[in-house]
Amino acid sequence: MIGVLEKAVGRKKKGKEAPGRDDKAVKFDRTLADKAAFVCSRRHQTMAEYLSEMCRPRIERDFLKETTGIGGEA
């Protein structure tokens, strides 16, 4: 399993980001990033796409709470 993860993580696509995307580098737990990279390699999906799709609903909900004052001081 480790060898498979190393192969999946070691492959980096070079080039420009997909049209319509505005990606930003962030720090993420290494173990989770390695597992996510493995999943992405199996699904032929970029990490940015995978993590954005997964996190978007939660972030949008939290952002709405914070900006409308529901979540505390805005």
- Terminus-to-terminus CA distance in the chain, angstroms? 46
Q: Is residue 12 classed exposed, middle or buried when 0-12, 13-18 and 19+ CB atoms within 10 A define those classes?
A: exposed
Q: Hey, what are 35's tokens?
A: 């597992």
Tell me the pLDDT tens digit for each residue of 52-72. 999 999 999 999 999 997 655
Per-domain boundaries in the chain: 27-74
Higher pLDDT, 44 or 2: 44
Q: pTM for the whole thing?
A: 0.64
Collapsing DSSP to helix, strand or coil, 3 comes out as helix
Task: For residues 55 and 61, give the distance between their C-alpha atoms in angstroms, rounded to a whole number.
Answer: 10
Spell out the residues 6+ positions from residue 36 whose beta carbon is closer than 8 angstroms to its own.
Answer: 47, 50, 51
